[in-house]
Amino acid sequence: MMKKCTKCAVSKPLSDFYERKKGSGLYMSDCKECVKKRTRKWELLNPEKVKKKNRAYRIRNRSAHAEYERKRRAANSELYKEASRRWRSAHPERAKEVKQRYCKKSKEKIKEYNQQYAKNNYCSIKLKRKIHRRANREQMNKRERKRRAALKFSPRSQYKKRPESELIKHAAHAAVARALKVGRKQKPTICSYCKEDKFPIEAHHYDYLKPLDVTWLCKSCHMELHKGKGGSLNTPCHKNAL
């Protein structure tokens, strides 16, 4: 069935016309192309109204719009990355504020991502650090001199100035490192306290006079224990010497 458009005066099939109401069988007098041209012209003349209308639509259909944007970004990832780089270079202060706001809001997510990345790319990270230190030797030396001056630290007298407890602690850490190197001990991949597969796993000594009697903890549990927030973690029943 054909219908004549009142705007362009061309006879077109009914599929080229919008329905007035879905399922009513009544069609608009203007064809789709003429309606689109009229809409574009109105949008150019009323940019503020268009923004307000789009914002209201996004608020009403938040989940559907988010899904649409996700698919669109996946299909045009390079274009979005390039546009993002251009915006950050043009607005450095605003980009910094956005990044700070995101970091504050997503601390746990960033922490989990960093742990997983460090676990999967340990060798490449170590190599990059080594290359960076070699390429910036003067800068690294300057930083080290500044640190030593602030701490009044002298390489020759470091062991003389250290108390006996510090020397025992250092010897215990060195003993664990040697045992791991020669294969006398194996480092597990699961924390002995939270039972989660986290990176890195560290050795905790309950008694530095027993250097190989250690409990393997993830970094977060280890820090909580040393801060005194571990609670039952400090009790002997939770010792899991491996």
pLDDT in tens, 20-47: 877 677 888 899 999 999 999 999 999 9
Contact 187, 201 (CB under 8 A): yes
Q: Is residue 132 part of a domain?
A: no
Q: Which residue has the higher pLDDT, 151 or 186?
A: 186
What's the confidence (pLDDT) of residue 40? 92
In the structure, what pLDDT confidence band is assigned to residue 199 with cuts at 50, 70 and 90? confident
In the structure, what pLDDT confidence band is assigned to residue 110 with cuts at 50, 70 and 90? very high
- This model's pTM is above 0.85: no
In the structure, what pLDDT confidence band is assigned to residue 235 with cuts at 50, 70 and 90? very low
CA atoms within 13 A on the CB side of 190: 6
Contact 201, 217 (CB under 8 A): yes
For the chain, the domain total comes to 1
Helix (H, G, I), strand (E, B) or coil at 146: helix
Q: Identify the DSSP state of 196.
A: -
Q: Is residue 189 part of a domain?
A: yes
Q: Is residue 205 part of a domain?
A: yes
Contact 188, 200 (CB under 8 A): no
Residue 190's domain comprises: 162-238
Q: Report CA torsion sign: 138, 141, 147, 149.
A: negative
Q: Is residue 102 part of a domain?
A: no
**Nearest Cα residue to 206 out of 229, 184, 233, 183:** 233
